[in-house]
Amino acid sequence: MRISFDQNKLLSIQNENIPQTKEYTYTTGGYTFSDFDKGMIVLHKKDFKITNLKNLWDGMNVVFCTKENNDNIIFQQEIFEDALRLFNGFDEETGQRYFFIPGLWEKDMQEKNDLLKHFSKCEIKKTSKGAMVELQHAKEDRTNEKPQIEDILSYLFGLTLIYGKFDAKKGELASIKIQIPLFGQYLAQQEMLDKIINELQESSIFLKVDKLTNKNGITYQISSNDYELLEIFAKWYEPIEKFEKITKSVFTQDMKIKLIDFLEKNTEIPSDGKSEVLNQIKNGTIKFLMK
């Protein structure tokens, strides 16, 4: 037997005695992975234990590790403003394209404008067509450019400010939630939003997506408590509010210490690969992803 971070970057124990009859697919914390049965190190109710992959139940956390880190992500204002262009139409009278925020009540416009003024000169105004966005410059054509991680996060940050909220209390940030109404021709934008989620997953940042059906179409709901994402957003959000604590970050650091102790002392942990795993945990980026 050997302990390692497998091809999915999950802490597991390779055991040649486990019959390989089928491949299992799970989604944990917004991360979807597939594999054959094996031993897994899981966290459940703040205790670590060894279980088979096929016995991974709700409430259990798998241990994810990557060498990558997403420090020094720089806010991109123009990409942030692209989030305000999510919904657009064509004015036949003026011959101009316009951008709007569906479902935004007049009483909420001032709140959104108070947020936007810290990041852009864009402004939301009430018109006969609803809440319209005034943009200071035209959108550049970036269709042939491969988006960078900072571009994707700047865009997602814009969506959060306009269509979402920060789940925070007494200076502690727990998560973000975004709810985007998609209807009519805009239902096609699911593909673009799905791509964003997948590209972030490739950079080891995880978001959960729910597509909630309603009478007009769907609500595309994004939520995340990924501490890397929240740390970046909290830094950008400081002109409005400073968060003193990221709930998941504190939890992860506490459980990381407990995981190291578990691996060092538990006699069921194979010695083969243990030193490499401990080194990866101490020097890599660790995340606990709940099923």
What is the reported pLDDT for 139?
58
| The predicted structure's pLDDT at residue 147 | 78
pLDDT for position 26: 96
239 and 253 in a common domain: no
Looking at the DSSP assignment, which residues form a beta bridge with residue 2? 14
Distance CA 98, CA 85 (A): 9
The answer to whether residues 285 and 178 belong to one domain is: no
* Tokens 């729910």 -> residue: 210
> Residue 238 has what pLDDT?
97
233 and 255 share one domain: no
238 and 251 both lie in a single domain: no
Confirm whether 72 is domain-assigned.
no
**pLDDT (tens digit, 0 to 9) for every residue of the chain, 291 residues total?**
999 999 999 999 998 888 888 999 999 999 999 999 999 999 999 999 999 999 999 999 999 999 877 778 999 999 999 999 999 988 887 778 889 999 898 889 999 999 999 999 999 999 888 899 987 655 565 555 677 999 999 999 999 999 999 999 999 999 999 999 999 999 999 999 999 999 999 999 999 999 999 998 999 999 999 999 999 999 999 999 999 999 999 999 999 999 999 999 999 999 999 999 999 999 999 999 999
d(CA 20, CA 122): 57
- The predicted pLDDT at position 3 comes to 97
| Same-domain check for residues 261 and 120 | no
Closest CA to 122 of 105, 110, 137: 137
Instruction: Name the domain count of the chain.
Output: 2
Structure confidence at residue 11 (pLDDT): 98
Rounded to whole angstroms, the Cα distance separating 100 from 84 reads: 8
186 and 262 both lie in a single domain: no
C-alpha dist (Å) from residue 250 to 116, 132, 287: 30, 40, 11
Same domain, 25 and 99: no
**The pTM is what?**
0.92
Report whether 14 contacts 5 (CB < 8 A): no
Residue span of the structural domain in which 40 resides: 2-66+247-290
CATH of the domain at 146: 3.10.28.10
Q: Is residue 121 located within the same domain as residue 149?
A: yes
Question: 116 and 125 in contact (C-beta within 8 Å)?
Answer: no
